[in-house]
Amino acid sequence: MLDPKMEKQLNQQINEELFSSYLYLAMSAYFSAEGLKGFAHWLHAQSQEEQVHAMKIYDYINDHGGRVLLQAISEPQASYGSYTEIFKEVLAHEQKITQQISGLVDLANKLGDHATHVFLQWFVTEQVEEEGSAQEVLQRVELVGDNGPGLLALDREMGARTP
């Protein structure tokens, strides 16, 4: 049986993961409109991964006698000043999620909730990967800057992302 405090925070994290999905989908739509299909594809795949994250928590709450309560998802930003700004936002967002996951781990420790502590380890590891890939893309986008051919080459590379 989940402690009510843990249940509340896990429900909040479902919302954060779904917002992440929505945010990356909005960014994907932005790149589609810009004609950069590779970046759009990369962010679309990222958006889908976030739904998987949300569903992992959803299933965990249900499997542990908790109650899933879905909340409204905030509207994501629709336009950006530059491509660099988008990936700075992706990295900052992932860093925020990492902090939230750490907060959940701290709460699980405080409550002596070993099952949730173990469950959250997957997310701890995943966040290292998520921050790493956001950082890598940001560095490349910064490197390429306004260089058209460089941007198109990077777009092709981004389009090759597999789930």
Chosen residue from 18, 26, 43, 97 binding ligand OFO by CB under 6 A:
97
Chosen residue from 53, 91, 107, 113 binding ligand OFO by CB under 6 A:
53
Query: If DSSP states are collapsed to H, E and C, what string results for the chain?
Result: CCCHHHHHHHHHHHHHHHHHHHHHHHHHHHHHHHCCHHHHHHHHHHHHHHHHHHHHHHHHHHHCCCCCCCCCCCCCCCCCCCHHHHHHHHHHHHHHHHHHHHHHHHHHHHHCCHHHHHHHHHHHHHHHHHHHHHHHHHHHHHHHCCCHHHHHHHHHHHCCCCC
**Contact status: 130 vs ligand OFO (CB under 6 A):** yes
Smallest separation (angstroms) from ligand OFO to the CB of 150 = 26
**Contact status: 113 vs ligand OFO (CB under 6 A):** no
**Contact status: 44 vs ligand OFO (CB under 6 A):** no
**Contact status: 104 vs ligand OFO (CB under 6 A):** no
Stretch that binds ligand OFO, among 35-43, 80-88, 122-130, 142-150 (CB under 6 A): 122-130
